[in-house]
Amino acid sequence: MKTNFFKNMIPAAVVALGISGAFVTTSMQSASSMTAPRIGYTLDENDECDIEVNCNTTPNPICVSSTGSQAFGKNAQGNCDVQLYKQN
């Protein structure tokens, strides 16, 4: 009696583990694609970094300020020329 129970339950347990494993790996893949927000800056009339805007580095539409000006991120030298994108 016990052996029949285990023979019938093992395939069901394998299927349940397989389905739960598929959901776990899918959620792990989507979590790694999230990026931290990055501050962007609009350029004033003197081409200097001016107003801060919340952006990120994930390719989306271009990050713009509330006035419609494109926002850029600062590079290692402090120049505003890094392409940034809208936050999701």
Please give the mean pLDDT across all residues of the chain. 81
The per-residue pLDDT for 62 is 92
The per-residue pLDDT for 2 is 67
Helix, strand or coil for residue 53?
strand
Q: What would the two tokens of residue 59 be?
A: 């390719």
Q: What pTM was computed for the model?
A: 0.56
Q: Residue 36 pLDDT > 80, yes or no?
A: no
The per-residue pLDDT for 10 is 83
Range 11-22 burial, b when 16+ CB lie within 10 A, else e: eeeeeeeeeeee
Q: What is the mean pLDDT of residues 40-68?
A: 87
